Structure formats: C-alpha cells, structure tokens
Structure 1
Amino acid sequence: MNRMLENLKCAICLELFRNAVTIPCGHNFCQECIERHWQGEEKKKYECPKCRKEFDEKPILNRNGELSEMAEMILAGDAGVPSSPTGLPSQSTRLCERHHKELDLYCKTHRICICSICSIQQCEAHKKMTVEEAKKIMEQKLMKQSKEVDHQKQRTEQKITELQSNMDKRRNLTEQKTKWILDKFNHLLQSLEKSRQSTEKLIEGEGQRLSAQEQMQLQQLEEYAEAMRAYHVKTNALFQTQDDVHFIQEAQSIEQPQMERSDVPFEMDMKLDEVTNLLSRILGLTGALEKTTMSEESQETKDGAEGPPSSHTTRTSAAEAEVFRPYYHPLSFDPRTAHKYICISHNDQKAEHKLITPSSKGGLPEEPERFEYCWQVLCKEQLEDGRHYWEADFSNPWIYIGVAYKSIERKATMEMKLGMDAVSWCLEVEDDRYSAWHNGEQNKISHREKFKRIGIFLNYHDGSLAFYGDGRRDKHLHTFHHAFTEPLYPAFLIGEDVSVTLK
C-alpha cells in the first residue's frame, strides 16, 4: 500500500497528484507543479525534475486520468490510507523514489525536496537548505501572506459594507429626488395647462369686448360722419342765400357736430407681449433642461442638427464650420446707416471708426437712415424666421455688437445707443469685461477671458440670441430670450480707432 501511495505522489510537492500530467519522458507531476517548476528554469531548455532529461521546447502536458482519479479517491478517503491529523499522508514515510533515502533537503533552484544523494549527484551546484529551514521560511511567508489577506479581507468587507450603505443612501436619495422632480413636472404641466386655458379665455373674452367696443366706436364714427355731411349741406345751402337777415338767423341755429373721444385701448397687446416674452423665457429654460437630461449621444446629435456645436479649439474648427454652415448668413455693412466717422470698405465687409470729418471725405450724402450722433452702423441684411449664425472680428475690444429692429432711432444721442431701447439687443465688449444690454437694462457677465472674435447665433422662431467668444460653444457669454415681432438687422457700435470685419 505504501509503495502504491508513493507512486501517486508528485516528485515536486511530494503530495498526492492534483490533476496529474505526463511529460514525454514518462514521468508524472501535478500540472501546476511542473508548470511552476519550468517557470524557474534559468536556461532555455526544459528539464524533467526526476530523470533530468532536457527538452528543447516546452513539452506538451498530457493529462493522466487514471492517476488523477486514484489520487482523488485516496484524498476522499475511499482507499483507507492512513493520514495525518491534517488529512494528508504522513510526512515521516516520505522517501526519495530513486534512492529510497529520507527527503531531508530542499533544492531552492528546482523548488523540490531531495535526499542527500540527490544533493550530491543532481543538485550539487544548487542552493539548498534543510527541510526544517525551508518549512520555517515558508511558514513565515504564509503567515505574512495570511495576515495581509486577513487585512485585505477586512478592508474588502468594510468597503462592501460602505458600498452597500452608499447604494441604499443613493437609492433613497434618488427616489426622493425623482418623486420631487416628477411632482414638480406634474405641477408645471398643470400650471401650464391652466395658464393656457386662462390665456385662451383672456384672448377670447378680451377679443369679444374689444370687438364690441370697436363696433360701438365704428357706429359713432359713422354717425359723426353723417352729421358732418349734413352740416356741410346746410352751410353750403346757406352760403347761397342772398338774404342777409335769413343768413344770420339760420347761421345761429346751425351747430358744429361734436364727437366724444372713445378710442379703443390696446391693453390687450401689452398683455399678449408679456405672455410672449414669458413663454420665450420658458422655452429657453425647457431647452436647457432638455439638454441637461439628454444622453451624451443624443446631445451630440442634437447639437449637430439644431445649433452651434461644442469645440475645444481656439478658433472655429473645420468640423464646427461644417455644422455652422447650414446656419451661416453672409452679411455686409450698410453705408447708408454708417455714422460719419465710420468708414466702410472691403466690399462692405469692414467698418472702421476714424476721427475724420465729412468734408475730408468729400462730404457724405444726406441719408434719413444714417446714425447722426451714435457711432453705429447696421447691416443690409434683415434676419427673420429660421436660424442664423455670423461672426465678427474686431481690432480692439471696445464695441457693442447685437441686433436691432429697423425702427431704431437714428438721430438719438449716445445716451440712447445700442441696447438702451426696447428695439435693440447687444453685447458690450470692453477689454475683458462683458455686459448684455436691452431696453437700458444691464446684465454683467462674469467671464474674464479676452476675445477679438464674437460668434452670434439667432434662433428667430424660438426667440433666442446667443453670443459666443471665438465662436466656441464652451465660451458662451450670454443668451437673450425674446419674442421677436419684426425682422432683425445685425448692428454695431464701434469705439474710436476700432475696426470690425464681418466673417
């Protein structure tokens, strides 16, 4: 039985075979042991640990099923082999298979236990130690590893506990926030529906009331017109009489028709303007909300299809240009609107503020559309419907750039420059300071990077006007939200010694 048991042991680990494999020389080893043994080979050749036969290439390991099954049966206790308290075969009977001597040494080179004869014949030049010493070293190593594993196990269990706790907290917090958000959405939808119904009733009710007032005013005007026609008939007939006494008597009885002023108020228009402005702001907020909740892929698709894209270049990249191209609108300055100190050149693509007089230019023609006091100029093109994008370069950061209705005042003083009235919107650029202006209200912008190019994106339908430094989406400066009701004209106020070039 002992002889059979020895034949079922691996010559490397001296334990019963674990997944026994056979190499070409016919010897058997645990697959893990022989592979680990060959990993330690210093030479390129592979050597059998028992017979020392060398192989030029790493041998193919063939599984020995019979030895593996027999070893597994013994380990399972089916063969009735005496064992140590650990359940493994006793160490005291382990002898060298070749020399039948006690395995009392350990070869560090081949990482196997050997006898004294093996030490002289096969492992003379190798580093060796006693089995007891090797055991102590391995015990210390295993104890150290065991402590590290225990420490890692504790840390891992702690991390698992923390992660589970965080998962629970995150789940609870997400549920709370989701409930709050959905409740707010429902409330918002209900509020919007109520506002829509009340607006519809307002329009319908006010429309009927105004219609009745208009009909009444129309009737009064028609009666007044009829009274004036009768008045003219009487007076014309009286002018034909030759009897002075009759003229005097009849003239005293003729009264001039009087009409009480009953103009129809236009409060409805003011209320609807407020509604359209508020709706424009709401649309801007819902657009931002939609962008925030989009997936990254959907965001990229939407950016490419509906508006200016993100960019990480200092100027508009070729890829951005392709995306901007569908919205790019070529512009040109309108010399008829240019202040006398603003010179237009380069096929109306460049405007430059120079301290010159009209006489030095040979005189400027009188134009009702020319700005008289403000250093301003409009573009020829009117923008309405759809989306439009354009850019402007400037030599020095002292300009106002924006849009205006055609009705902007041309003879106003500098106090009523671009952005100071209700018909213009602009971005003020002064060094590295920026402000947005509309109707005299200033909105200071915290951005402090200095730009010499501004990109403008107008979505007329949605009522948004956005400004971007260097034409880059990530350099967004400001967006106006307004329900535009008239065509818009790109507009500029140009500081002294500053030139602006349309792109």
Structure 2
Amino acid sequence: MASANPSWSEENFSCSICLDVFSIPVSTPCGHNFCRTCITKFWDEQVKYKCPVCNELFNTRPDLRVNILISEMVDRFGTSLQVKEQPCVEPAEVPCDVCTGTQLKAVKSCLVCLISYCQTHLEPHQRVTVLKKHRLVEPMDRLDDRMCKKHDRLLELFCKTEQVCVCLLCTVTDHKSHPVVPLKEEYEVKTAQLGKIEAEVKQLIQERQKNIQEIKDTVERSIADADREIADGVQVLTALMRCIEKCQDDLNQMVKEKLKSTEKQAEDLIKGLEQEIEDLTNRSSEVKQLSQTNDHLHFLQTFRSLKDPPPTRDWTTVEVRPPSYVGTLRRSLDQLEETLNMEMKKLPDDAELRRVQQYEVDVTLDPDTAHPKLILSEDGKQVHDGGVVKRIPYNPKRFTRCISVLTRQSFSSGRFYFEVQVKDKTAWWLGVVRESIDRKDWTDRTPETGCWIILYNKDRLIFSDDPDVRLPLRAGLQKVGVFVDYDEGLLSFYDVEARVHLYSSTGCTFSEALHALLSPCSHVFQGNNSAPLIISPVNQTD
C-alpha cells in the first residue's frame, strides 16, 4: 500500500457537515463521505434524501457502509491531527511539562509522576497498563508544593489542631493524636467562613467611609462657624474704634489657627481611614479571588493569611471636634476692658446665645442625690423645697446639708448647654460641679473645690468665687442658660429672655465628670420661695 501523502491537511479528513475529523466515515452513492452520525441525522430531518454536497437526490434512503480506506487513513493521521488541534498554553493556564519548544496546554496532571501532560504526552497513561493505574487529576501547577516535604506523599488531609495540610503518613507520626479531615471537607468549612470574613471586611470599609463623611461634615461646620465668628468679630470690632484694630487682627488669627488645627487633624484622620480602606479593599479583592478558586490546597494554605482582617485602628472613639469660638471674641475684648468697658456692652450677645444653644442636652434630676427636703417631679425636670425632711434610705450620693440636687447625666468632654426657669423665685443656686463634690459638709462653693455656680437672691446675683464676683442684677430674670466647653475650660451664663450674657469663667480646670446642680433654696428664704426650678427645653426663637 502506498504511503499517505504527508502534505494532506485536516480538510482532507473532515466531514462537510460537522467540519470535524471523520468519525466512522461512510460514503453515499454519489461518492461523498460523511460521519455516519452526521449524515443519518441530516436525512432524519429531510423529506427527500439528497447529498448535502452535490444535492443529488436518491429515490430511497441509501444503505450506508463504512468507508474502510478513509477510516484507516483517519486512524493513521489521527495522532498528528490531534496534536495540531491542541491549543498552546495561555497565561494563567497549566503548561505541559514534557513539551519542548512551544508548550501546549496541559489536560491532566499525574499525582504519581508529579508531571502535567498535554493530550499527546498523556497518551501513554491511557495505553500502558502500569501507567493507567496512576492517579490523574485536572491540571495543577506547583505539583511539588502538593507533596509532603517530610514523607514525599500527597498532601490530601487537613490537621484541625495545627491548621495545616498533611499527608497520610503524617497522621501516624507528627499528627498522630490530632483530628484530621479530607481537604475537601475543610475546604467547605473554610469557604463558609470566607463569606463571613468578606462581609466583615465590607462592613469595616463602610464604617470607615461613614467616619470620613462625618469628619468632612464636621470640617464643613467648622468652616461655617469660623466664617460666622470672623464676620461677627469684624462687625463688632469695626464698631468699637480704630484703637482696637489690633484686637480684630488677633481674633481673626486665633480663629483661623483653630480652624487650621481642626482641618489638619481631620486631614490626618482621613488619610488614616483612606489607608485602612485601601488595605481592606485589597483584602476584599484577595478574599473574592480566593473564594473563586477550586484548588483546595491553595485555598487552605492561603486562607490562614486572610482569616484575620489587617490590623486597623478602633475609630469608634475617634472624632474631630469643631474648635470652640464661644467666648473667643469676649476673651479678646477683655484685654481692652479698662479702655473699652462701655463698648463691650454692645457685643452681640444674641448671636452668641444662638450659637451655644445648638449644644443643648437633655438632662434630668437624679433623686438619689436630692436633699431629703426636696420634691422632684416624675419626669425629673422640676424641683422645689417641700419644707419637710423626709425619711428616706441613706445614700452616699445624697446631699445632706445643702438643699441641692444633681442631674443623672454627667459630661467629661465636649460642649453642653441647658436652660433652667427661675421665674417667681426669690433665691436659687445654679451651675455645674465635679462628680466628687462633697455631698455632706459642702460649704466652700468655689471653682477651687470643683464648684462653678451663680447664686441669686432679691438683692444680688453673684458668681461664687474667692472673692465672689458680683454681677449686674437684671430685673425680670426668668430663665438662665448654662453653657460649658469642657475642653476649652469655659463656663458661661446667659439671661435667656433678655438674650444677654451674664458672666463667663475662663481658664477653668475641668479634671473629672461634671454634673449640673440645681438648688431651689429654702421655700421661705427671702419671702415666699416655693416656686420650682424647671429644666426647660431650648427655644432658639425666644
């Protein structure tokens, strides 16, 4: 028999219907060849039987027989044709370890030989009896990494005690008493955990994005406050006289420096948050990529490094506080008090009051601290002297000498503001005290002992200090506003109805939590003093 022409191409052995190499080639009466399955299916779908190539019609369905010559030639050229059909390896695919020159894509990996094979080089494993017993799996790269370094056996088990992949011999040596499971079983467990880790990472990202937005909002409010404070300062100082131009410049510089400090702090925090978001985003990508792999060993070996999120800062307690401008203008003008005493009375107290009122807090009175003579309303908003000492259980927090009561709420940072109605009262005390104030023998009511209060009776209004500071007594004082900037050490009192400033204590040393203090004084002090002190909601339209 003459040798086959080596220059023949795949087209010479292709079915014109499926365009693939003949499978059981058969011939029609007109001499054309097709796969038996292809021509049979073609005629099953036709009314008349004809040749798909030349369209010759047949009266009856032809009896098809295998074309032995074509079949033998397909068998002879089959191997070379298969090699030609095999694709070259692409990036991220496993290459054949046997190919020289152009590497073809591996179709199987042998766990006995530790070699990956293309279709051509896999042929001995499909033909030779001994090689047929080898364990073939889907193509894998880095086969050496899948072997136990100590026993040279396949890593196919997972030690739950030490969280590592082990071989069968490891279970009777180093990991003899450890519980082990197949890789697939642990893979499924870790896959379930991976979803939780991904959700946690996404939540961390969202929390930090929220932190960034809150910081940006704070900065925007700070800028607005700064602009407003500067504008008020310009208006007031311009109205005073040319002699206070330096005071105006100093005020502007002070406000801008505080704003700059706040913006710098916010910028640093945002950079930190953005860096953590970048790290968490990278981690999320790694988690997502790992969740898509079906490589059990690679998954489990990589999972250990992804199980715990990257170290992050606890941002729940981090915040940017807008700089306080309350009292800034007043402190600047205090430097010129001797020459500008009259002009200071013209300060826009109304604008300042509106600014501090935005820091309103909801406070209620604590009955455990109330002197036995005091009667509190059910909502904890009102207190008056009942005139009779009640028999109540001993409590170390209770005032026993001073007819006073504290609020339940305390404050150890930031700013807070509240208002108390003093209408129809002939005497009262009002302010803030530190938490450790003496509740039994409290007599020295000064800032040095942790007490910042104003005292009122019909004849005078004073800020309790050493010495006392006597304040201008205004007729018709009905409601007092109290503002504290803990971090700035500032305490201010306001006549809410008249919308004027009463007094400010600057440079206060607040070293512990502060409570608001209310004392309605004796119900018969300076006449009829039975009216209650009432913690009132803030109405900025007053």
Please, what TM-score do these two structures have when normalized by structure 1? 0.36
Please, what TM-score do these two structures have when normalized by structure 2? 0.34
Larger radius of gyration between Structure 1 and Structure 2: 1
